[in-house]
Every structure is written in structure tokens, then in C-alpha cells.
Amino acid sequence: MTVAAAEVVHVSRDEYVAKIQAYKDDGYVMCSDVCAVDYLTHPGRPLPDGIAAERFEVVVNLVSFDPVRRVRIRTQVSAADPSLSSLFDLYPGTEAMEREVFDLMGIVFIDHPDLTRILMPEDWEGHPLRKDYSVGRVPVQFKAPADTR
Amino acid sequence: MRDTTTERPAAETSEGAQEMRPRSITTPAELGRELGAVLRLPESAAPVEDDAAEFTEDETMIINMGPQHPSTHGVLRLMLELDGETVLRTKPIIGYLHTGMEKTAEELTYVQEGTNVTRMDYLAPLFNECVFAMAAEQLLGIEVPPRATWIRMLMCELNRISSHLLFMATNGMDLGALSMMIYGWRERETVLAFFEKVSGLRMNHDYIRVGGVAADLHDGWEDDVLDLCDNLPPRLDEYDQLLTGQPIFRDRTEGVGVLTREQAIALSATGPILRSTGIAWDLRRDMPYQFYDELDFDVIVGSRGDSFDRYAIRLNEMRESIKIARQIVEKMPTGDYRVQDKKVTPPPRGRIDQSMEALIHHFKLFTEGMKVPEGETYVAIESPRGELGCYLVSDGGPKPYRLHMRGPSFVNLQTLPTMMRGGLVADAVAIISSVDPVMGEVDR
């Protein structure tokens, strides 16, 4: 009944690729998802000891077919330098996912072969899923009531 | 002449243009990288072909297919590099339907969220609602009553049938079997009629909600489901005769758009695309959620990884879903259809007139929403298109802090360049159709 709980691992930015390489060698053959969270307005989230909270967090989901298991890898990415190595050479399937994260969250994936906008128009400014990016409003033109006099 | 603007990192430019880089500015080494990018394979695994020497720019032609093209299933644009009629490079360009649903999600409460997520994969809306509800329930730490879970499974399996029926219709139409188009829509209508009876809506139901489902099944639902289960199999046999036994259909799909196991895994493909390559991976069986471990069903796998296998898998998955639906009718328990937790479930309408407390709970739930404990979770279920995942982060407030949907169509689209390479333009239509992308989910 209950959903199989995935293992959650925190890795630092420096050992991001090396750790994921180790998971790949351990049988996690598929990268099912890459996404990012902007914790700008929620800085005090609970994290294990030794992990310093940063503004961004990149979350990678890996799947192993045999044995059947999942792992979720969370990496802190600082606001001053929002960049991370690309996983493209390990998992080519992350190509579109990393582009999506770059497009909507503005995290640069170093050595990504084709890091361009994927969902937003290519001349769009800003990264919409960041918390300091407002939802925006459609301008509405209100007309003054017709002069009845 | 090298264009220096292309050498700067994308972050410093105008974010780069979503276009293919011309061959003239790419050295063979860079082209290998480009091939890697377009083929979605790492440089080391990309086929070492000296394309630059083989083709010059004069011989190849870049042609845009879409975004307005009936066979691209919505607003999908493909840039095809052609040598005569042979496809060399392909680049899917998406985003034409992007409406920022993940951003919208952060502005809606957990009560309102169902109406948002249901519009992502509009051919399988119940799966979106289901995965979101399961993620929210995991953060809330509540267990829904068994009947609610069984109702969810029933609705999802019927939704799988209706989604695959639409695939049958469009796949037939794309390949010239126009009568299949009519048949597929006709049978899908019978399933949608059942959905309308249960939820009041044919699509975008908002039926599966956090804490259970919106309403109990109507009286006599067993007969409706069993009618569907009796009427559909003969129709499926008809499709089998009409398409499987048809030489033109087979010629156009067999050996077209072949994907190997290694490629499918490397490209993170899931669902019928992964299973067509011979890998029996179905989250319902391999990572059982809900009560799928109590049911008896087969995971359909292919062997060649071509368009025909993907068609055959979907046809037989419908038969399996019918089998599952029959078992659910037998096993459906009695009991409550939603959790009795006043902070999650709105009180029944009648109570509001009698009880002040019920009125307050109703008001608080619909204005403020439910408070979901701080945390993050990822839940994945098997949608008709593959692994549908929901990554949900809560900061303890009544609105999701971040909602990310892992859309199977979005990821599966990455397999197109690999499947298309070396094929004909005419086959492109068959290949897109066999991936069965739903652009609402790709662009979100």
C-alpha cells in the first residue's frame, strides 16, 4: 500500500558528479528526474548536520532496476554562483531536464552540450520559477463611466 | 568564419537560440558533441561518423515540421536536417503550450491544486490528480480509507484504457487508417461517459482529491464497469484485425523508429517506449503502490523496440486494464470514500446548516486551505505514458512551496532524435505517433 520510501542523500557541490558516478556504478542505471527548488523565502528548512543551507537545491532522482530501488540526491547550490556540473555524460536523458532547470530556475549546468531555454521563449528575461520572480498580472484597462450629464 | 557569439556560455548570451547550429561553424569534434547533443548520447557513445566530411551544408536541408501540423499531436515543432528524404539530425522544440503551471501551483492551496494538475496530461487527468494527492497525503501523514484507494485504482485503469484508445485513434489516423480514428474516439466516449457519471465531467475531473475522492461511486456502478469490460474486448479484437493484420500498417510501423535497450535506459525513457525494448519495467508491479500487489496482471513487453511493438504493447495493456477493472469490481470494499479528518476533508453539505463547527471547518478549508507539515517527497506512479512523478515541497503553509511534475512525455520526447536518425520523413509521423506525447504535459 505505502509508496516505497526512497533513500535521500545530501551531497556537496564539489563531489556531486563523483557521488552520482558511484551510484551509477552501483546499479542506478536510469536518472528519472532532475529538478530544482528555490528556498529564498524558506531559509530555515530542516537539513542534516553538516549541510549548510543555500538558496537553491538541485534534486536528482535515480532508479535502479535490479534490485528495485530509488535514491534522491539533494545538492545545495549557492545564489552567488548558481552552477553545477552537468550529468549529461553519465545520463544523457538529463539533457532536457537540465535545460528545464536552467530555463525556469537559472542554474547553469557546466559542460551541458546545448544549454538553451526550452520552455520559455528564447528572448525571455529572468527565470520564472525563482521566488523573487513575481507571478505577474495581466494589465486590465478600466474605462471611466460614461458621462451621463 | 567562426561566430564568436556561439562560444560564450549560454548564461552570458541572450540565453542562446533554440536552433540547430549550422554545420559550417562546427568542427568535426564539435559536431561530435553536437551529435551527442542532438542524439542525446554522450560523446563517447555517439556514433563516430564524420558527418562534416560526408555532408556539406548545400546538400542538406533544414526543414521545420510543426508547430502547426496535424500529425504532431499538438504544438510540437521538429527541426529536421534532411539529406534528400533521409533524416539526419532532429531537434524537438517545445514550449509552445507552456503556461507556467508549476508557478501557478505555488499560488494555489492544496484544495485548489487538483484543478491545476489535472490539466497537465489532459488525456490521463486522473493520474495527475492521483499522484499529487498521494504526494500531499504522504506529507500530511494520513492514510486514505481502502475504498478510496480502490476507487482511485479503478478510475486510473479506466483512464489508461481511454488514453490508449485515443492513441489507437491517432496512431491509425497518422498512418492512413482513417476509420480507426472514428472507432477509437467512439470507444473512448463510452469510458468518458462513465467518468461523467462518477465525477460529473468528461475531462479534467478534479475527482481524486487530497484525502480521498470527491464523491462515492453511484449506485449500479458495477454494472457500468462490467458493461465496459464486456463491450470493449470484442472491439479491441476488431482493432487487432483492422491494424495488426493489415499489411500497409505493418509495413509502416515494423522496424521503424527502433530504439535499443541501452538507448532507452540512457535517455530515461519509461512506459511503453521502455517496455517495447524488452525491459519489463512497470511501476505498478515493480514498485507497487496502492493495492496493485494484490492484483493479477501481466506487464506487456516487446522485443524489437519499434513503432509496431509500441502499438502492440498499448493494445494489450488495454486488455490487462480490463482484467484489472474486473478484479477491482470483485474486491471493492465498503466503507468511507474519504478520510474523516476535519482539517483535510470538507464537511458534507447538510452538516453546514446544522453545525457551527462544520461551518467553520468548511470556511477555513476553502479560504485558507489545509496546513501541510514541512517536508519534501517524490511519488511516482505508472501513467499510460510512463513514470509520472510528483516532487512536492511544503514549508508548513497551506500552499505547496514547490510542485514539480516529472512528465513522462517531456522525457520521452528526447528519444525522437535517436529513433528518427536514418529514417525517412514519412516515418517521422509514425514515430512521433508511437511516442504518444501529450503537449500539455510536455510544456506544463
Q: How far apart are CA A108 and CA A125, in angstroms?
A: 15
How long a stretch of residues is chain A? 149
Instruction: Assess whether the previous peptide bond of A67 is cis (omega < 30° from 0).
Output: yes
Q: State the CATH number of the domain containing residue A80.
A: 3.30.460.80
pLDDT given for residue B8 in this prediction: 41
What's the pLDDT tens digit per position in A60-116? Answer: 999 998 888 899 999 999 888 888 998 888 888 888 899 899 989 989 998 887 788
Angle subtended at Cα B12 by Cα B8 and Cα B18, rounded to the nearest 5 degrees: 75
CA nearest neighbour of B257 among B277, B242, B284 = B277
Find the CB nearest B374 among A46, A92, A97. Answer: A46
Report CA torsion sign: B321, B324, B326, B329: negative
Per CB-CB distance under 8 Å, the chain B contacts of A46 are 374
Residues 6+ apart with CB under 8 A from B152: B126, B130, B133, B208, B213, B290
What's the pLDDT tens digit per position in B287-314? Answer: 888 889 888 998 999 888 889 999 999 9
Q: How far is B344 from chain A (nearest CA, A)?
A: 19
What's the pLDDT tens digit per position in B338-372? Answer: 888 888 888 888 888 888 988 998 898 888 888 89
Please report the residues numbered 266 through 285 in chain B whose beta carbons come closer than 8 angstroms to any beta carbon of chain A. Answer: 266-270, 279, 281
Share of chain B above pLDDT 70, in %: 86
What is the number of structural domains in chain A?
A: 1
Q: How far apart are CA B178 and CA B181, in angstroms?
A: 5
The CATH number of the structural domain formed by B104-406 is: 1.10.645.10
Q: Check whether B67 has a pLDDT greater than 90.
A: no
Chain B residue at shortest CA distance from A43? B395
Question: In this structure, are residues A74 and A54 in contact, taking their beta carbons and an 8 Å threshold?
Answer: no
Residue A139 in domain = no
Cα dihedral B139, B142, B146, B150, rounded to 10, equals -20
Mutation for A interface: B402, B439, B441, most A CBs within 10 A: B402
Q: How far apart are CA B426 and CA B85, in angstroms?
A: 8
What's the pLDDT tens digit per position in B103-132? Answer: 889 889 999 898 999 998 888 999 999 999
ipTM of the complex: 0.87
Mutation for A interface: B7, B134, B378, most A CBs within 10 A: B378
Residues 6+ apart with CB under 8 A from A149: none
| Residue B325 cell numbers, joined | 477493472
| Residue B404 cell numbers, joined | 514539480
What's the pLDDT tens digit per position in B161-215? Answer: 999 999 999 888 888 888 888 998 999 999 999 999 999 888 888 899 998 898 8
pLDDT given for residue B6 in this prediction: 43
Chain B residue at shortest CA distance from A87? B42
Q: Check whether B48 has a pLDDT greater than 60.
A: no
Q: How far apart are CA B397 and CA B353, in angstroms?
A: 29
The domain spans of chain B are 4-93, 104-406
CA nearest neighbour of B228 among B319, B150, B310, B163 = B319
Question: In this structure, are residues A105 and A129 in contact, taking their beta carbons and an 8 Å threshold?
Answer: yes
What's the pLDDT tens digit per position in A103-124? Answer: 899 899 988 877 888 888 878 8
Q: How far apart are CA B421 and CA B310, in angstroms?
A: 18
pLDDT given for residue B58 in this prediction: 66
Exposure of B352 in the CB half-sphere (CA atoms within 13 A): 11
What's the pLDDT tens digit per position in B223-242? Answer: 999 999 999 999 999 888 88
Residue A80 in domain = yes
B15 has a chain A CB within 8 A of its CB? yes
Chain A residue at shortest CA distance from B262? A29
Question: CA of B225: how far to CAs of B148, B196, B222, in Å?
Answer: 17, 13, 5
pLDDT given for residue B12 in this prediction: 44
Whether B15 sits inside 8 A of A124 (CB atoms) is yes
In the three-class reduction of DSSP (H, G, I as helix; E, B as strand; rest coil), residue A19 is classed as: helix
Residue A129 in domain = no
